[in-house]
Amino acid sequence: MGGTGVQVRRRVLWMLCAVGVCLLALAVRLFWLQVWHGGGLYSQAVDVRTRVVPVQARRGEITDDKGHVLAVSVGADSVYATPAQVTDRTSEANALAGVLHLDPATVLKNVSRRAMFVWIARKVSAQESAAVRNLALPGVHIVQESRRIYPKGMFAGQVLGFVGIDNQGQSGVELSYDRALRGKNGELVIETDARNRQIPGGVSLYVPPVQGDTLQLTLSSPLQAIVQRDLDAGVAAAHAKAGYALMMDPRTGDVLAWAAWPTFDPNFARQADPSLWTNPLITLVFSPGSVFKPITAAAALQEGVVTPDTPFNDSGVLKVSGVNIHNFNRRGLGATTFAVGFQKSANTIFGRVGMMLGVQRFYKYLRDFGFTGRTGIDLPGEARRPNILRPENLATPLDVAEEAFGQTLAVTPLSMLTAISAIANGGELMWPHIGMDLRTPDGRLLQRIAPRGVRRVLSPQVAYTVQSLMASVVEQGSGKNAAISCYSIAGKTGTTQKYVGGRIGEGMYIGSFLGFAPAHGARVALYVMIDEPQGLYYGGQVAAPVFRTIMIDALRYLGVQAACPPGQKPPVAGALPAETVTMPDIVGLSPTDAERVAAEAGLFLDVQEGGTTGAAGGRVLRQVPPSGTAVTKWATVLGYTTPALALPEQTVTVPDLRGLTVQQSAAALGVEGLQLQADGTGHVVAQNPVPGMALHPGDVVRVMLR
């Protein structure tokens, strides 16, 4: 009996211990759940029963220099779904796909996802939004987002850029000023039950979005319209592949107009060729040719190496390190001065001036004018080292001689215009920029993007002298087609052959004109490039007329007063004439007959013959452009009577000799009719000229071997 009682007590004791252990375990578990992990579990519970709907902020406006809107954001409905609330997924997916013009399978996949929130369609049209509302489908909702609108369409498309579906900047100033423009998104938080229905009296929180700031640009809408209009007309008249024009206030570095053809409409950026999204005036790198010569002239004048009256005896050929440098027409100027050499764009004289400066001083001015680094413009896409130059420690006298007249180096159009603007404004290099002000949506000024000088490059006296030399190019030299009556224009023409795959592209040129007005006290600087014109291709023929038509309207808009002699009227504004005529065949005719035939066709003929222009002897051996080419009426065409001038295509391309021995290099050059000059032993590690350059048979290629 006693043993039975002991056993009962033991059982009770064990039961109490077991219950105690269970209670202790439950207490530990409750402590772990409610205290140790309580915060996390609470957050999960809140996440399960709350739904967050994003509310997109309106992006800030972009305006021109006068406050006219170039980019604005408007409300746009977007359709989303709460999958748990969708009652009949297949029928609802088909209905939504029908009114939103979507793939039914894709919509069905979205509404079947295990998620609180899925997008069905973003930023739909007003008609599509109304159709979705009329369907009144369970679990399908509409929220308002922000849609970017560019009211002027293609106007300055590559400068403005565009935005992505989430209102993030993708290119242009939309990207470079994205942080200021995008604003701050808001959200709507709603507490729901297990069936995703809003709980009456539950949590409902609205965080309003904050609109982005307004960006005011230096861009002038009237000037932008003028530049784009006349550039488009110039490209069409030249039957060119592309065209570019950049206008700047040289006093401040303000970009006034920025145009390219072809371009794109940022409203439909995704439908455009992605290659058009980039900004060619920043990314295009090419040999500037003769438009670079004012830089060399400025350096030489500043260093006292030359004066405008420094005498030269120009034979038309300059031999440097065994390589012959020729003028563009392969003729010399004889006994002349530096001023005339500048006006006539003599490569030989500029090659000599470059060597007179020497490597150290020449490269000093390349740095001072900004060619060895970025301009720092407030637009995306500029490389860290946008320009291509021979390293100073490797530069030879031949390199400097060729770079002095704009060959063997490559620069961007923006770098070139920025440097020339330093000459135009009296000698100070300015920071080029396109942003002017950042303001709050209510107009309060946040940041003034002020002009700033980078460094002084020239004395005002030297800058004035170069301005005068450039004015003489327009008055008496190759820039006559840019002249405007009653205004003093300073400028320089340029004609550059393009390289394709390291070789000169046959018949592929960029004709350019760079200048400013007035010549002294400039208000505006302008760079015009016509890419791959057909027929006439010299900068003075295809780019200078475009420069002139733009400048006429630009000067008038800016209020620059014309200074007309008595009885002379200011120029008439307007775009380039669109009328074209067909180039006749004048090969084999005498200069007199050729001029008559050209005049009958509505063209001016410039005959290049044996050191003179318009001489009466000989026969036309070559014409530019070829017969049958469409040419703007009363344009100037060319006829050549001297074999050396008539057959400039008799050139050969320098082969790539790197890695070859002396014997192999000599054999490779011999095939092309070129001569070899070798320094060192072993294999070729460097050559001058570089592969792909055009030389005449008999010219010398110098190589360095190690």
CB atoms within 10 A of CB 37: 12
Do 309 and 338 form a contact (C-beta atoms < 8 A)?
yes
Do 54 and 207 form a contact (C-beta atoms < 8 A)?
no
**Residue for token pair 């200069």:** 591
Rounded distance, CA 180 to CA 174, Å? Answer: 10
Angle at 346 between CA 344 and CA 348, to 5 degrees: 165
Cα 683 to its chain centre, rounded Å, is 40
Beta bridge partners of 687: 703
Q: Helix 221-237 crosses helix 544-558 at what angle (to 10 degrees)?
A: 160
Beta bridge partners of 437: 216, 448
- In the chain the first and final C-alpha atoms are separated, in Å, by 115
Q: Where are the alpha helices (DSSP H) in 167-302?
A: 172-176, 178-181, 221-237, 280-283, 293-302
Q: What share of the chain is helix, strand, coil (3-state, %, to 5)?
A: 35, 25, 40
Q: Is 290 a catalytic residue?
A: yes
Residue 565 is encoded by which pair of tokens?
Answer: 């002699």
Q: Helix 104-111 crosses helix 89-100 at what angle (to 10 degrees)?
A: 130
SS3 295: helix
Strand residue runs (E) in 364-489: 428-430, 435-439, 445-448, 453-456
CB atoms within 10 A of CB 593: 13
Side chain identity, residue 191: E
Rounded distance, CA 227 to CA 200, Å? Answer: 61
Peptide bond into 104 cis (omega under 30): no
CA nearest to 61, candidates 186, 265, 213, 175: 213
What is the phi-psi region of residue 438: left when phi exceeds 0, alpha when psi lies from -120 to 50, beta otherwise? beta
Q: Which one of the listed residues 290, 415, 512, 665 is annotated catalytic?
A: 290
Q: Give every strand in the sheet of 242-249, ordered side by side.
A: 254-261, 242-249, 524-531, 503-517, 490-500
Do 415 and 246 form a contact (C-beta atoms < 8 A)?
no
- Return the H-helix or E-strand segment holding 259: strand 254-261
Q: What is the greatest pairwise CA distance in the chain? A: 152
Do 338 and 314 form a contact (C-beta atoms < 8 A)?
no
Catalytic residues: 290
